[in-house]
Copies of this chain bind each other. A is one copy, B any other.
Amino acid sequence: MFAFEVVDSLPGPDGLPTLGRTGTITTPHGEIKTPAFIPVGTKATLKALTPADLAASESQAVLANAYHLYLQPGSDLIDQAGGLGQFMGWDGPTFTDSGGFQVMSLGVGFKKVLAMDAKGIANDEVIAKGKDRLAHVDDDGVTFKSHLDGSMHRFTPEVSMQVQHQIGADIIFAFDECTTLMNTRAYQEQSLDRTAAWARRCILEHERLTEQRADHPYQALFGVIQGAQYEDLRRAAARDLAGLGFDGFGIGGALEKERLGEIVGWVNQELPRDKPRHLLGIGEPDDLFVAIEQGADTFDCVTPSRVARNASLFTDTGRFNITSAINRRTFEPVQDDCDCYTCTHFTRAYLHHLFKAKEMLASTLATIHNVRYIVRLVDRIRQAISDGHFYPFRDEFLGQFYSTRA
């Protein structure tokens, strides 16, 4: 059982239709009201939080990483445990990514943020032959070295489907090649052909596994649109995958921050309106507004939880570091009107103390706040669309949030 329904459409400031909308995704483990921010629990746990903390943040779903879980504890073990949700004590909807980004990013040593910064450097050779290369891509799949113990493994579209079926998330992604902005146009084209072929193999294997495991809850398969910063490639990829019968779509790969809205817009103009669209790895407030306006429905990102563990906390006036001396005797919450457990029970002074004393509770309380902050921000955006106030809300929010950036 999987469904998506558009609820409200977002008219632009000029009254003309935009790609933006609110909606409802229905999965075997419950509904997701969209747009929605989906926190990342890489290894079947959102770092530093219990599932009860996660539920209290009003997160509607969690996304885990197939690559990590395949290596540890093993996807067969999660299958035996009754699937990801059962294993990690999370009742709600779950996602897994395909493992493609991880096996390849570990392989070439790039990070998404680096890709965003290093635009325009055509560098296939360096990427392909890097010293620390842990992954080799060919037309059939990817051979990679475990970051845990150096053992060799191979993912193909079929293996990724098998692994994701064992993990058993409600929403899974097709195995794709994830390129960087440093790759040449020629390489991007070649890679897109590969991703298109892999998408077809994923669908076939997914159908076979769905039939074979008919006693398991239905898993929805999302195709992933690549194409880097090239409009023609992105549009062609979206049109191609739109015809293959996927349950929804992921927008992946190299995305320049300044052109995020444009790229998401190209893709979503080509995709069918009645299927959900997940933007992979995006979670900064300004990016969320842009992507939602351009028709993205769900988002996952490690940023809120990762920066929390580094003492960086979100507020309506931007992010700040709680370890700064000014917080030592500030007996106020992180944010006055935040409804999270951290803000309703503790002061900045206490969080400052916990970080200075290197107490684990520091990461927990900071993560509780940041996750709730971003989840609630997207909930507020959804409400603003429903109420017809998206643009004033956006302008007011972003004006305040980025006001401290001189």
Which residues of A pack against B, CB within 8 Å?
A: 43-45, 47-53, 72-73, 77, 80-82, 87-89, 328-329, 331, 341, 345-347, 349-350, 352-354, 356-357, 359-361, 363-365
Contacts and interface: CB of A to CB of B under 8 A. Distances in A.
Nearest to A82: B331
Given A87-B350, A329-B80, A350-B88, A72 B361 contact: no
A130 to B, nearest CB: 27
A347 B81 contact: yes
B350 A81 contact: yes
Contact of A81 (B47, B81, B349, B354): B349
18 contacts: A43-B357, A44-B353, A45-B361, A48-B360, A50-B53, A50-B341, A73-B328, A73-B352, A73-B353, A77-B328, A77-B349, A80-B329, A81-B331, A81-B347, A82-B331, A87-B349, A89-B345, A364-B364
B359 A77 contact: no
Nearest to A53: B50
Contacts of A345: 51, 89
A47 B357 CA distance: 11
A331 B78 CA distance: 10
Contacts of A349: 73, 77, 81, 87
Given A52-B341, A77-B353, 15 more contacts: A43-B353, A43-B354, A44-B350, A45-B361, A48-B364, A49-B361, A50-B361, A50-B365, A73-B356, A77-B349, A81-B347, A87-B347, A87-B349, A360-B363, A364-B364
A360 B47 contact: yes
Contacts of A341: 50, 52
B52 A329 contact: no
A44 B364 CA distance: 15
A-B interface, 10 closest residue pairs, ranked by CB to CB distance from nearest: A73-B353, A89-B345, A45-B361, A48-B360, A43-B357, A45-B359, A89-B346, A72-B357, A87-B350, A81-B331
A82 B346 CA distance: 12
Contacts of A72: 353, 356-357
Nearest to A352: B73
Given A45-B354, A51-B345, A77 B360 contact: no
A16 B280 CA distance: 73
Contacts of A364: 48, 50, 360, 364
